[in-house]
Amino acid sequence: MEQNFTEILRDFLSENNITQTEFAKKIGVKQSQVSEWLRGKAKPGYDTLKAMAIAFNISADYFLGITDTY
């Protein structure tokens, strides 16, 4: 089953025991922005997606739902 970004991010945070605040600090955004993503109200842009991939040393394809593994 294909996951949307909200589900992917929620699973990533849960599996890695990372809080919204920790995630936000690591990628350089406000915690409120991460909250918006988790509620499905917004999605990250290209630069933020790139920052996520670099900060956690995983492929952006994971956050895009193209691959199941990071």
Taken in order of first residue, the domains within the chain and their CATH numbers are 5-64 (1.10.260.40)
pTM recorded for the entire structure:
0.90
The 10s digit of each residue's pLDDT in 38-58 is 999 999 999 999 999 999 999
Specify whether the CB–CB gap between 61 and 46 falls below 8 A: no
**Is residue 66 predicted with pLDDT exceeding 50?**
yes
Residue found under tokens 């849960």: 14
Q: What angle do CA 3, 58, 29 make, to 5 degrees?
A: 80
The 10s digit of each residue's pLDDT in 9-32 is 999 999 999 999 999 999 999 999
* Top-confidence residue, 1 or 61: 61
- pLDDT value, residue 6: 96
- pLDDT value, residue 69: 86
